Amino acid sequence: MSKKNEAMRQAKNYDELLDIKYGKIGTQKRDEFETKAQYFVISEMLKEARRDANMTQEQLADKVGTKKSYISRLENGNCDIQLSTLYRIFEDGLGRRISLLIA
């Protein structure tokens, strides 16, 4: 068994696993992982909110003045989103409130 696999087996929590697999917070590989993880969370929240509103991607896009392909890319975590657009989609398009926490 490799050192890395052994270290992962003996990790005591999720943070230790992430440190072993992606490096410590602040390293390039870890930062890339964290960014992708955040996109994934936002995309899943968007999909769930849209489905709860019984809307198609096209209906949501029409309501907020964008294209279906953009909503699809967002839901698949394949593009960046401006904060103003995120608010518009959730608040104007889906009737959901967003709160931003900076820690």
Domains identified in the chain and CATH numbers: 3-93 (1.10.260.40)
Distance (Å, whole) CA 12 – CA 9: 9
pLDDT at 1 over 70: no
pLDDT confidence band for 4 (50 / 70 / 90): confident
DSSP 79: S
Mean of pLDDT values over 13-24: 89
Residue-level pLDDT at 14: 87
Q: Which two tokens stand for residue 41?
A: 């969370």
**Number of helical (H) and strand (E) elements in the chain, helices listed first:** 6, 0
Please name the residue that has the structure tokens 């593009």. Answer: 79
Please name the residue that has the structure tokens 């294209």. Answer: 67
The predicted model scores a pTM of: 0.78
